[in-house]
DNA sequence: CTGATTGCAAATTCTTTGCACCATC
DNA sequence: GATGGTGCAAAGAATTTGCAATCAG
């Protein structure tokens, strides 16, 4: 499993899964299966979205794309439309955080949840089988058929705790 | 504990806590402590918000308030402003769901999480000590100082499963 | 009285939509 | 060459904000 474990079901690292198709290929299949088209905009966006494993929102994505007039420019509307298609295709997951919609790689990564640092706004991932077990117990108790879940732990990350401590020391000197 | 239990730390009911002050009184204290004022609008809104234990969003609240021109009318802006004060005062909790901000009674109720039926959009509450334990383990593993968390289990509630099943039977007949 | 509060309307922010033109299948 | 896709600008939805009038302490 991973380097640090607690009991045997909580891991600190969320590692990529082995998948037979790349996100690009998988998206192609999705498009084909629905009679949708393979456009340059869609291809370019998928490449961008999967070029790094990270969380992002529409604004952040748009920011790192070419501007209007530049090569490979994609309009805002198309970005939003494509993001939604990615979610439908199972490539991305999305959830609301602080009022914005955050997208998260779904395809190629195991189900996981998040730690959210309210100071630096970083999202960390974690994975816990126990959490899933509890989820299922709770659902069973309510006769609830689970489709998915989302857990976000808010707080202060290690780095932010450290820098806060440092600052305080300096203040005292 | 409650009527149904699973292990000893998951309960189906989230019961009110004993609190020494009513939400109204507690809000008064909050206002006083900050040199804010006790207005009719604020009093009226708190009464409305705590008249029933339920989740709601700003729109739903506004819908059941008096209209413009009627007695006790409160403007949209004031509703939003007061909701935020309630959150600051610790009376309400809020979180994002399907793009809207949902408010939840915090004061007078134990910490709890939610089951969300994607068919009827109902929110059910549950409480699990085990969940908290896992949260704390995960956080510890990451050197993360927990402030709060939010877990939402999405799926289909018992009632919606039933009616779906009924429909299918009828379809077959 | 003085500063906080309110209502109103305008402004924001994020996202979606209508439509004419364009491109894939 | 049909149909779906794109860019653009305008429309929406949900909140927030500026400001003058009003009100609580």
pLDDT in tens, A130-162: 999 999 999 999 999 999 999 999 999 999 999
Closest Cβ opposite residue B138 in set A143, A145, A153:
A153
| CATH code of residue A154 | 3.30.1490.190
- Burial label for B161, CB within 10 Å (0-12, 13-18, 19+), is middle
Task: Name the nt closest to A59 by C-alpha to C1'.
Answer: C14
| CATH code of residue B25 | 1.10.10.10
Q: Are B79 and B61 in contact (CB under 8 A)?
A: yes
How far apart (Å, rounded) are the C-alpha atoms in residues B59 and A39? 40
Best mutation target, A1, A151, A152, to test chain B (most B CBs within 10 A): A151
**B160 three-class SS:** helix
The verdict on B69 and B94 lying in the same domain is yes
The verdict on B99 and B28 lying in the same domain is yes
pTM of the model: 0.87
Which of the four pLDDT bands, split at 50, 70 and 90, describes residue B9? low
User: What pLDDT is recorded for position A19?
Assistant: 77
CB-based contact, B3 to chain A, within 8 Å? no
Q: Which residue has the tokens 């769901």?
A: B97
In angstroms, what separates the C-alpha of A114 from chain B's closest C-alpha?
A: 10
The verdict on A98 and A114 lying in the same domain is no
The verdict on A24 and A86 lying in the same domain is yes
Please give the tally of structural domains in chain B: 2
Residue B100 has pLDDT above 70, yes or no: yes
Residue A31 belongs to domain spanning: 18-107
The verdict on B102 and B119 lying in the same domain is no
Inter-chain CB proximity B161 and A148 less than 8 Å: no
The verdict on B22 and B12 lying in the same domain is no
Give B-chain residues touching A135 at CB under 8 angstroms. Answer: 151, 153
Mean pLDDT lowest for which of A120-124, A165-169, B73-77? A165-169
User: What pLDDT is recorded for position B8?
Assistant: 53
The verdict on B65 and B28 lying in the same domain is yes
Q: Are B108 and B19 in contact (CB under 8 A)?
A: yes
The verdict on B103 and B117 lying in the same domain is no
Strand partners, A31: none
The verdict on A135 and A71 lying in the same domain is no
User: What pLDDT is recorded for position A173?
Assistant: 44
């Amino acid at each position: 499993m991973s380097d640090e474990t607690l009991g045997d079901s909580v891991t600190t690292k969320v590692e990529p899964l082995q998948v037979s198709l790349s996100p690009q290929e998988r998206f192609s299949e999705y498009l084909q299966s629905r009679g949708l088209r393979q456009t340059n905009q869609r291809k370019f966006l998928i490449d961008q979205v999967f070029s790094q494993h990270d969380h992002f929102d529409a604004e952040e994505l748009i920011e790192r794309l070419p501007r209007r007039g530049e090569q490979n420019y994609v309009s805002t509307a198309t970005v939003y439309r494509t993001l939604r298609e990615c979610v439908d295709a199972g490539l991305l997951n999305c959830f609301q955080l602080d009022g914005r919609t955050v997208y998260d790689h779904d395809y190629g990564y195991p189900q996981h949840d998040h730690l959210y640092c309210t100071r630096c706004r970083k999202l960390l991932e974690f994975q816990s089988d126990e959490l899933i077990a509890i989820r299922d117990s709770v659902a069973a108790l309510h006769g609830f058929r689970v489709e998915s879940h989302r857990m976000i732990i808010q707080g202060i990350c290690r780095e932010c705790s450290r820098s806060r401590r440092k600052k305080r020391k300096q203040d005292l000197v």
